[in-house]
């Protein structure tokens, strides 16, 4: 597995993957001294697409993904990929779409273990009452991501 660290508006982003796909994209508050000077070839497209996302030029990712998790977690993460850019759903809605409303805690837990920050958009899942709940990257990052993706962002008049 190859690893790269890049700057993002939300902290240092770690990208891990190989020829089988991207396995991990995570964020931390580690200092900027940890940014990779060179990006392994197998991770260059992921870096490019993430940078486009942060620049507001990309709404969908086209990456080969290879997250590691249980069969149930994989199912939950695939369901997250169906949430469109700029939209949110509740944990209950996600659970209903997956066919078992009794699994809400398990679904929320699997969302919290999502290893592919932003690309598998668990940040788009909110509480039934519209509250920002449960985000492994921190609620301030979740808020930033949802505002970044909001179709009603205030535009400059000049």
Instruction: Please identify every residue annotated as catalytic.
Output: 122
Measured CA to CA, the distance from residue 48 to residue 58 in angstroms comes to 10
In angstroms, the first-to-last Cα distance of the chain is 47
Helices 91-98 and 104-112: crossing angle, nearest 10°? 110
Q: How many CB atoms lie within 10 A of CB 13?
A: 23
What is the H or E stretch that residue 18 is in? strand 11-18
């Amino acid at each position: 597995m190859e690893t790269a660290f890049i700057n993002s508006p939300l902290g240092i982003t770690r990208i891990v993957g190989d020829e089988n796909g991207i396995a991990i994209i995570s964020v931390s508050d580690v200092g900027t001294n940890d940014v990779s000077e060179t990006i392994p070839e197998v991770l260059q497209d992921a870096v490019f697409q993430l940078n486009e996302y942060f620049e507001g030029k990309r709404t969908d990712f086209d990456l080969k993904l290879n997250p590691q998790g249980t069969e149930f977690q994989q199912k939950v993460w695939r369901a997250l990929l169906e949430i469109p850019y700029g939209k949110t759903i509740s944990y209950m809605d996600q659970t209903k779409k997956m066919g078992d409303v009794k699994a809400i805690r398990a679904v929320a837990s699997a969302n919290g273990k999502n290893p592919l920050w932003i690309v598998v958009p668990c940040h788009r899942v909110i509480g039934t009452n519209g509250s920002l709940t449960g985000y492994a990257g921190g609620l301030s990052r979740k808020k930033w991501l949802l505002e970044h993706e909001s179709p009603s962002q205030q535009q400059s008049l000049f």
